Amino acid sequence: MLIATGLTIPAVQSEALSGAQLYDIACEACHSLKSAPGHRVGPPLGNLLDRKAATIEGYRYSEALRASEWTWTLPTLLAWLSDPDTAIPNNAMNYVNALTAEESQRLAEWLLQQP
Ligand code: HEC
């Protein structure tokens, strides 16, 4: 089966969206990458790696996220993105993940490298 589709795999890969593109599609409407709270619905996501959840000053987080004691790393970010409501019930991020596991991974790895 893999051999039969071998010719199409490179084509699919070259069309794969980068982490930055996935971010623009799935997150950018609600989140900026700056580190100060902007005018968007969600908190800024720059400099996220090893940041404690719900610690951007001036942003009004949900009670649930503030009580979570989470720290943003690749595993926690992937858990959050795969299903925010299961990860931290009663959070305020109104988001349903429409990405594949592989896309989520690519996006999360890219995001955690942004200053
Ligand atoms: C519909 C708007 C919306 C979309 C789309 C969205 N978010 Fe959020 N996000 C929020 C809101 C609102 C919060 C604050 C949640 C809370 O306080 O419970 C949040 C919180 C977060 C946090 C916690 C940040 C912190 O300071 O602790 C992370 C990480 C996050 N979002 C990542 C993402 C990523 C990555 C995407 C894209 C895959 C995304 N979000 C898409 C609205 C959104």
Does ligand 1 have an atom closer than 6 angstroms to the CB of 29? yes
What is the pLDDT averaged over residues 17-46?
A: 91
* Average pLDDT value for the chain: 89
Contact 110, 19 (CB under 8 A): yes
Report percent pLDDT > 70 for the chain: 88
pLDDT tens digit sequence for 60-107 = 999 999 999 999 999 999 999 999 999 999 999 999 999 999 999 999
User: Residues near 100 by Cβ (< 8 Å), separated by ≥ 6?
Assistant: none
Residue 36 banded pLDDT, cuts 50, 70, 90: confident
pLDDT of residue 113: 97
Residue whose CA is at the smallest distance from ligand 1 atom 5: 27
Rounded average pLDDT over 9-26: 79
Atom 34 (ligand 1): residue with closest C-alpha? Answer: 27
Burial of 64 (0-12, 13-18, 19+ CB in 10 A): middle
d(C-alpha 51, C-alpha 12), whole Å: 35
Count Cα atoms within 13 angstroms, Cβ side, for 46: 8
Domain ranges of the chain: 17-111
- Residue 35 has what pLDDT? 74
CATH number of 17-111: 1.10.760.10
Q: Give residue 49 CA to ligand 1 midpoint distance, Å.
A: 14
Report CA torsion sign: 84, 32, 52, 114. positive
Among 53, 48, 49, which residue's Cα sits nearest to residue 64? 53
pLDDT value at residue 34: 85
pLDDT digit string (tens) for 80-92?
Answer: 999 999 999 999 9
**Predicted pLDDT of residue 1:** 47
